[in-house]
Structures are given as structure tokens and as C-alpha cells.
Amino acid sequence: MTNNPDQNEIAQIVGGFMLLMAFHSIAATLIFALGFGIGMLMGGYSFLTIWVVGSMGFLFWQLLYVIPLVLRFKHRRRFGMMKGVIVGATITALVNGACFVAAFAGF
């Protein structure tokens, strides 16, 4: 049975993408928890501000963990994983930007 390097790289790309989605889930949970905690302390609808700002600026929040991941994979010469993280970050940025434009298109 031969091991095709192209299939191995595709598996690494998918693995990098899934790793980034796991980090996105953690980041979204932290934003939700932060908003909920501030809402409990401040009362009213202050939690919505955290959620809206956190979701609208998710493009920038993801840079806090995407750049170190890419640099770590590059240093370890795991280029397939690095490509998967970059593809996932690009898709996230495009979706986030499209949602931002759609939300403020009427203003």
C-alpha cells in the first residue's frame, strides 16, 4: 500500500482548518461568556454590546491566535496545517466582512 503525499497534504489542510474551527468555537464561547458576565454585573442589555462588538470585530480577534498558529506550523515545517489555518482564516474574514457590510448597508 503506497502513501500518496498529495492525500497526506490534503488531510493536513483539512486538519488545520478543523483546528482553526475549534479555536473559533473557543473564542466565540469566551466572547459569549464575557458578555454574559458583564450583563450580570451591569444589568440591562449591556451584554448585547459585548456580543455585537465581539462578533463584528471577530476578523481582528482571530488574528490573536491565527498568526501564532501559522508561525508555529511554519517553524515546525507543517505546511499543510499552515495552509489549512490560512484558508480557514481567509474564509472567516470574508464571511465576517460580508456580514458586516450586510448589517450596515442601509446606513
Say what percent of the chain tops pLDDT 70. Answer: 93
Is residue 2's pLDDT more than 60? Answer: no
Average pLDDT, the chain: 87
Compute the distance between CA of residue 63 and CA of residue 45 in angstroms, rounded to an integer: 28
H/E stretch holding 53: helix 46-56
User: Beta strands of 17-100 (E only): which ranges?
Assistant: none
Q: Are 23 and 67 in contact (CB under 8 A)?
A: no
H/E stretch holding 41: helix 5-42
Interval 52-94: pLDDT, tens: 888 878 888 899 999 999 999 999 999 999 999 999 999 999 9
**Residue 77 DSSP class:** T
Domain ranges for the chain: 51-107
